[in-house]
Amino acid sequence: MNVASLEDTLHLGAAELGVALLSSQEAKLIAYLELLLKWNKVYNLTAVREPQAMVTQHLLDSLSVLPHLGEVATLVDVGAGAGLPGIPLAIARPQLKVVLADASHKKTSFMQQALLELALPNASVRCERVERLRLSAPADAVICRAFADLKEFARLARHLVAPGGRLLAMKGLYPHEELLQLPPEVVLRDVIPLRVPGLAAQRHLVVMEVR
Indicate the annotated binding residues.
79, 84, 102-104, 130-131, 145
Closest-CA residue to 165 (of 204, 134, 211): 211
For the sheet with 139-145, list strands across it: 123-127, 97-102, 74-78, 139-145, 161-171, 203-210, 186-194
What is the CB neighbour count within 10 angstroms for residue 173?
A: 9
Binding residue ranges for S-adenosyl-L-methionine: 79, 84, 102-104, 130-131, 145
- In Å, the largest CA–CA distance within the chain is 49
* Half-sphere exposure for 135 (CA within 13 Å, toward CB): 25
Q: Give the H/E segment covering residue 151.
A: helix 150-157
Distances (CA, A) of 123 to 16, 74, 94, 108: 26, 10, 9, 12
* Half-sphere exposure for 39 (CA within 13 Å, toward CB): 21
Closest-CA residue to 140 (of 180, 95, 81): 95
